[in-house]
Structure 1
Amino acid sequence: MTQSVQTLPRASREFPLGLHGITRGRLQDSHANAAVWAPAIPSMDVHWLRSDGTWTSETLVGLDGGVHHGVVGPIEPGSLYAFWPTGQEPPGIIGEAQLLLDPYARAVETVDTETGTDESPVRSYYSVFLEHAFDWGDSERPGTPWRDTVIYEAHVKGLTRLHPEVPEDLRGTYAGLAHPAMVTYLRDLGVTAVELLPVHFHIDEPHLEPLGLSNYWGYNTLGFFAAHTDYATASARAAGPAAVLDEFKSMVRTLHEAGLEVILDVVYNHTAEGEQHRPALCWRGLGDLDYYRHDGAGRYVDTTGCGNTLDFSQPRVVEFALDSLRYWAEECQIDGFRFDLAVTLARDEHNAFTPRHPFLVAAGASKALRGTKLITEPWDIGPDGWKTGRFPVGWADWNDGFRDTLRDFWLRDVAALAGGGRGASPARLAGCLAGSADTFGASGRSALASINLITAHDGFTLADLTAYERKHNEANGEGNRDGHGDNRSYNHGAEGRTEDEGILAARERSARNLMASLLISLGVPMLTAGDEFGRSQGGNNNAYCQDTEVAWVHWPADAASRRMLEATRTLLTIRKDFLAAQPPTFPSRGDQSTLLWFNASGLPMTAHEWDDPHTRTVQLLLGSRGGTINGLVVINGALEDVRVHLPSAWIQQEQGVGSDQPRWFSRTFDSAAAGVFGAPGAGTPDAAGDRLRSGEPDMVAADSVRIYRC
């Protein structure tokens, strides 16, 4: 049992920042050490809610390096608190008016105050003093190697909000994601990590409320150490912030026990305070010139498109982000982080990107972050903001070049061919499937630095890429002006919904072509939740404000969805078999890896064929250490069936990866046959049965991917 200490020396420390309970030996005191960096403020008070329901305050008497600190209390865990400059008149009644949040608060509580009129309540936010312990039991982080990682990007609420097997009171919550129905589904699918859209406490932008919309995605952070309250169950919210955090940690523990890693999408590039003229909630009031990037005239420099930019040339801002990362990694056992607009985090005092930025160096060298997966969105909207492949060793980048190349080959080129035009050769596609060495090799990084994706939360879903040529964001209330216009999509002859069976079949095949190319490529694949069974957003490619069925994952049971799901599961199994032994380096000859390219005749590709746009058929022989051949992938991007000759044994021997004995190839996957060889529409093979010898011919359907096991 803990004991109260009645007397406490009035000494305090400038670290750690935030509000932390004081322990003397093994005795827990009822006081707390408060510390906040606010270098522009001469003196700071902390206000807190006492157990009797009244508010009190105390001036922080210590000041070191711009950090105000002091011992306050007695203060009970769960108490609301906030900061305000000493001597300045508060903006209203304490407990109802907006004071300044603690940037390090472990929880944030929303306070709505009735106005006595027909207007909406006045909303303010208060920090919560949270002293929290959690029993992780025997749970351990899975520690999945990059080579074996398959990422599944999902939204906590949207993933389970409509799931029929998740109890209704758990749908759309942390507990819903941890429900056995969801965990079993993810494991059976074959993914290894769940990457969650922001779970840090966030709020809506002011322009959304008049439209009846909200910030569904959550890229508008107000608490970088606080779990978003609305994703917890009603019972946890009623029990208070500690119960919300318990539910979040329980979700992580359950996913870990199932062998699934948890990666968080984090937004350290800007805050929810928005444009320069808007009221202070936290950082703006504590030190506007210190936290945010300004130009010589004192105006905000906005490299995020969100109204403000945190200034990562400021050491205390770097420290703030690192402290947040350490908290989630150590206290919440998070396995990795995806950094939104990561170029902003690596801009120096001249607003220029540097791969040796102190934040990148410190995060990569941090003992607390060792073993975590560090993933960048390698661009922002600032000057010279596209930096894919430029981040340092140890980091992985979202590969937009991979995304665009696959969309071009399987969608835009096919549309051009169908219209009598010309597509491209498979050269760029081959480079992407081989790990994008042109993007990552020069900086000393490997194929495992490439996060390969076709879709993400931002943009068309996989199904919509094949069904829409224009964005349809009218429901967002911005006149369809928002969202990206360069989607590289192809509707196959009809915009949106259609009953034309031929168009529907072509769309399904294109989706399977894209999924197959993603899952047999070197690098680390990322799937967007619902793409594995054809989820649509009705052509909305910017559903950030759609906390509705538009953006929630539907769980259909129709035949088309089942076909796509079966194809995805098959491809993930094939990937595990084909690439498990691939080394982390780029493909090379000898005993390192096998990645050999052949033309439709089964002969090595020539330089002329790589450059010829009429060459739309290529064969890829995949293998691993010691010359073991695992499989063959035939890509036919032409609009006609093509007779291919499987690579012959003597060519394999010439390349140093085989013997003079014939090799056998077993048909395993065919995108033209709904993913399962032998299904209707598979075409007629030239050899009896599903097994063929090297050198034998086979007919591969137009616009398709066929995979063989060796």
Structure 2
Amino acid sequence: MPSDPAIPVPNRPGVTLSPEGATFCVFSRHATVVDLCLYDPANPSVETARVRMRRGECDLWTAQVPGIKPGQLYGYRAHGPWMPDRALRFNANKLLLDPYALAIVGQPDGCTSMLGHKGPSVFPGAHDNGPEALKSAVVDTAFDWQGDRSPRLPWQETVLYELHVKGFTQKHPEVPKKLRGTYAGLGHPAVIAYLKDLGVTSLQLLPVHQHLDDQFLLEKGLTNYWGYNTIGFFAPHNEYASSPDPQEQVREFKEMVRALHAAGLEVILDVVYNHTAEGDERGPTLMFRGLDDRMFYRHTFDEHGANYINITGCGNAVDSATPPALRLILDSLRYWVTEMHVDGFRFDLAVTVARDQHDNFDANGQFLAAVAQDPVLSQVKLIAEPWDIFRMDSYQVGGFPEPWRELNGKYRDAVRKFWAGDEGSTAEFAKRLCGSQDVFGWNQRPALSSINFLTSHDGFTLLDLVSYASKHNEANGEQNRDGDNANHSVSCGVEGPTKDAAVLKLRARLRRSLLATLMTSIGVPFLNAGDERGRTQKGNNNAYCQDNDLSWMDWAFCDEEMLDFTKQMIALRKRLSSLRRTQYFDGMVNPATGLADVTWLEGDASLLCHEEWHDPKRVFFGALLDGAPPLLLLFNRGELPQNFLLPGSGETVWSVVFDTSLVPGFVEPDSRLIEGGVSFHIKASTLVCLQLNEGPALEGAHC
């Protein structure tokens, strides 16, 4: 088809619409021929036209097609050598998605027809899968944002809340049935009212990029519920939309963001750029593999040929160090910020994305350097999951440069160990409470570099963390072999559900103590949706394939006492600036109060000395925080109550703010006034917060 001079020819991948038609553009360095295939939107199995594309500069293939309208379905066929030993896997019998597709139509129920090879991948498959293959859709991006503006909250004001778009509203009684489990459902006024009342500020959505279900899960009657199996880096997942129309799906996502922004809530996307749903050499040919396997994936080459580098556990790793893959990742991120108005990203297995051309993690490598200087991306929230797997350099907590924040796995583990009663855990617990300066401060990273979390989608819920000593993943169909074994969890004497009142009381107290620790720690607090309501997964710590009641939010049940405590803890953090510090503690004395920014105390109110932190039997200590007002935090992880001599003299007056041994936990202002120098009784497994009402706090303290 001859080119139409009225249709612009952009030098970038994707589809560019104009009144006259559209230009289709796709990258492939090693293809010999690329065809554009057009399909009938009303009958996606019918191919209506095939256009031979022209190769241009930068290995971009283009085709100008007049008369193209939004909703047009299309795909690519790439011709070239079938040489798997050289990472070349071209098979023109396979229809390929556009890596820049803004919407994707279809959901294959298996991958047999999608396989690019026959048998042990020695020969290319001869079956033409065009009729049943996924199709890319042309989308008009015009949208009335009605003056939408990002809340752009500073990190010290941020409270992250991780949720699943479908699971959060699938059973919500106030959301219309046709909107449950959708973007529109998440943007529903009843849902927004709940989030605002809870007090969280930023929603971190599990993957919303178009993804596929793994074949081995489909064979078990399961699905990839979490969605960490991306196949469309620009397309919102079509199953989370209330409309089957691709144009409406994009619009619905934007409407959700607009509604959340209007309520002052940020939208953070969990993004998976480290691998794709194509898996290893046994997987389907859907996009990168068929367009240019060598340029998009990381490989090793030896005497046996090319092998995928599997540092993600998913069969392949996207090669973010090559120009086309790096460009796609950056273009995708900018699209979600500029076109979809999201406020930031959490990067799954971010170490993989940050690896250089030699497959080594590099804090100054291509991807991290590109983001740091990007005028759009450097201004949004960037959160790294700072690890991948199978490499000596896979664990990089503290290794990312500014402006990145990191999920602090060391915080999670240390806090869990402390409240589980592990011996020798107190010293590290205090470091995590103080912002993990030992992890982030060595290269001048700020105190708010740490994303502090206790639980997330990946692992136990907060209730299960104190109800199960072991994982129970039998429902996943892998004989309980999957999921992490090192959970630092406790059952409180009974594994799983119980009616024992003493056990239930202890579990509730531990949950309050864990949550109170989270909200009083330096760093950015992160909540897993449902923990505030007592959500359980029945001991399953790897519910990635459970698209059912096990994973969905049960709105019919709520631990009202825990919900109330969570709301009050978030409100307390927002109210007191001393709980939202932006600097590490340095021990400097405030001349106005005579207090150091933090003072560590023994039970007799004397100073806690350095060597005493590492006593394996230590279960109890106090932290006096300077502020307006000064706060005293008392931690007792032991199984026995303790007495703490409150600092100060008879002229000193303390009042209890919260006590996690109580129900609901918070105390009415000024209802419990206690003089300094008096012994205060703190129960087992308890965190107490007192505030200084008047008088000196540290007379006579010494080490």
After TM superposition, the score normalised by the length of structure 1 is 0.88
- How far off is 1:691 after superposition? 1.2
Indicate whether 1:338 and 2:346 are aligned: yes
Does structure 2 conserve the Cα–Cα contact (< 8 Å) formed by 1:10 and 1:71? no
The residue that corresponds to 2:87 in the other structure is: none
Deviations 1:110-136 (A, max 9, x none): 16699xxxxxx9842011011121111
Secondary structure of the residue aligned to 1:410 is helix
Instruction: Confirm or deny: 8 A CA contact 1:578 1:623 kept in the other structure.
Output: no
Q: How far is the alpha carbon of 1:664 from its aligned partner?
A: 3.0
Superposed CA RMSD: 2.6
CA distance in 2: counterparts of 1:471 and 1:533, whole angstroms: 21
Question: What is the aligned partner in structure 2 of residue 245 from structure 1?
Answer: 250
Which of 123-132 and 218-227 deviates more? 123-132
**CA shift for structure 1 position 337:** 0.1
Within a 5 Å distance, the mapping from 1:210-609 to structure 2 comes to 210-233=219-242, 236-237=243-244, 240-297=245-302, 298-383=306-391, 384-413=393-422, 423-424=423-424, 426-557=426-557, 561-579=559-577, 582-588=580-586, 589-590=588-589, 594-609=597-612
Once the two structures are TM-superposed, the CA of residue 438 in structure 1 deviates from its matched residue by 0.5
Aligned to 1:655: none
Query: Is the CA contact (8 Å cut-off) linking 2:634 and 2:688 kept in structure 1?
Result: yes
**Change in CA separation of 1:212 and 1:326 when aligned onto 2, cut-off 3 Å:** same
Give the equivalent residue in structure 2 for 1:117. Answer: none
Task: Give aligned pairs, total.
Answer: 652
> What is the Cα deviation at residue 199 of structure 1?
0.3
Answer whether contact 1:399 1:452 (CA < 8 A) is retained: yes
Equivalence for 2:653 = 664
Task: Output the amino acid matched with 1:430.
Answer: A
List gaps (5 residues or longer) in structure 1.
1-5, 23-27, 90-95, 115-120, 414-422, 650-660, 680-687
For the residues of structure 1 that align with 2:555 and 2:42, how far apart are their CA atoms? 49
Identify which range, 129-138 or 607-616, moves more after superposition: 607-616
Sequence identity percentage: 42
**1:16 aligns to 2:6 (yes or no):** no
Amino acid at match of 2:369: V
Please say if 1:156 is aligned against 2:165: yes
What secondary structure sits across from 2:665 in the alignment? Answer: coil
Distance 2:197 2:213 in 1: 36
Deviation at 1:405, TM superposition (A): 0.4
Secondary structure (helix, strand or coil) at the match of 1:572 reads helix
CA separation of 1:59/1:425 partners in 2, compared to 1, >3 Å: closer, same or farther? closer
**8 A contact 1:37–1:66 mirrored in 2:** yes
**Equivalent AA in structure 2 for residue 620 of structure 1:** A
Q: 1:643 to 1:111 in 2, by over 3 A?
A: closer
More displaced 10-residue stretch of structure 1: 182-191 or 661-670: 661-670
Q: What is the Cα deviation at residue 408 of structure 1?
A: 0.3
Q: Which TM-score applies when normalising by structure 2?
A: 0.88
Letter in 2 for 1:139: D
Aligned to 2:633: 633
1:97 to partner: Cα distance: 7.7
Instruction: Measure the CA separation in 1 of the matches of 2:230 and 2:255.
Output: 23
Q: Which residue of 2 aligns with 1:674?
A: 663
How far apart, CA to CA, are the structure 1 residues paired with 2:246 and 2:630?
51
Counterpart for residue 214 of structure 2 = 205
Range 307-316 or range 448-457, more displaced = 307-316
SS of aligned partner of 1:225: strand
| 1:597–1:621 CA contact under 8 A, matched in 2 | yes
Q: How far does residue 279 in structure 1 lie from its aligned partner after superposition?
A: 3.0
Q: SS at the partner of 2:621?
A: strand
Tell whether the 8 Å contact from 2:109 to 2:218 is kept in structure 1 after alignment.
Answer: no
Distance 1:314 1:662, change over 3 A: farther
CA contact (8 A) 1:20 1:131 kept: no
Q: Within 1, Cα distance between the matches of 2:386 and 2:194?
A: 31
Contact 1:412 1:488 in 2 (8 A): no
Measured in 2, the distance between the counterparts of 1:410 and 1:113 equals 45
Aligned equivalents of 2:570, 2:440: Cα separation in 1: 24
Give, as a single letter, the amino acid of the residue that structure 1 aligns with 2:30: A
Cα distance in 2 for residues equivalent to 1:331 and 1:663: 57
Deviations 1:61-105 (A, max 9, x none): 23212211232232121010011136999xxxxxx9840111000
Matched, 1:697 2:686: no
SS at 1:264 equivalent: strand
Aligned-pair distance for 1:50? 5.8
- 1:36 paired with 2:26, answer yes
**2 CA distance for matches of 1:130 and 1:303?**
34
Cα deviation, 1:609-655, whole Å, max 9, x if unaligned, reads: 2122233211122234xxx4342211111222111122227xxxxxx
- Aligned residue type for 1:676: G
Contact 2:350 2:385 in 1 (8 A): yes
Question: Secondary structure in 1 aligned to 2:213?
Answer: coil
For residues 552 and 614 of structure 2, the distance between their equivalents in structure 1, rounded to whole angstroms, comes to 43
Alignment gaps of 5+ in structure 2: 83-91, 111-129, 693-703
Match of 1:706 in 2: 688
C-alpha distance in 2 between matches for 1:388 and 1:441: 12
**Alpha-carbon contact 1:395-1:449 (below 8 Å) kept:** yes
Asked whether the 8 Å contact 2:378–2:403 carries over to 1, the reply is no
* Cα distance in 2, alignment partners of residues 570 and 113 from structure 1: 46
After the TM superposition, which segments of 4 or more aligned residues of structure 1 sit over 6 Å from their partners? Answer: 111-114
Point out the more displaced range, 305-314 or 425-434.
425-434
Q: Give the distance between the partners of 2:167 and 2:316, measured in 1 at CA.
A: 28
Amino acid at match of 2:136: S
Cα gap change, 1:177/1:645 in structure 2, threshold over 3 Å: closer, same or farther? Answer: same
Cα pair 1:46 1:83 within 8 Å, conserved: yes
Q: Deviations over 1:179-235 (max 9, x none)?
A: 1111111111111000000000011001011110000000000100000111111xx
Contact 1:621–1:629 (8 Å) recurs in 2 = no
1:101 corresponds, among 83, 97, 103, to 97
Question: What is aligned with 2:73?
Answer: 80
Which amino acid in structure 2 is aligned with residue 358 of structure 1?
Q
For residues 630 and 490 of structure 1, the distance between their equivalents in structure 2, rounded to whole angstroms, comes to 33
Q: Which amino acid aligns with 1:58?
A: V
Conserved in 2, the CA contact under 8 Å of 1:50 and 1:56?
Answer: no
- Tell me the residue number matched to 2:617: 614
2:113 is aligned to: none
Secondary structure of the residue aligned to 1:153 is strand
Write the distance in 1 (CA, Å) between the matches of 2:616 and 2:599: 20
Once the 2 structures are TM-superposed, how far is the Cα of residue 608 of structure 1 from its aligned partner? 3.0
Shift of 1:709: 2.9
Paired residue for 1:417?
none
Q: Secondary structure of the residue that 1:277 maps to in structure 2?
A: coil
User: Aligned with 1:295: secondary structure?
Assistant: strand
Cα offset, 1:583, TM superposition: 4.5
| Counterpart in the other structure of 2:125 | none
Q: Deviations over 1:525-548 (max 9, x none)?
A: 100000012110000000000000
Q: Indicate yes or no: 2:203 matched with 1:194.
A: yes
Secondary structure at the aligned position of 1:536 is classed as: coil
Q: 1:92 corresponds to which residue?
A: none
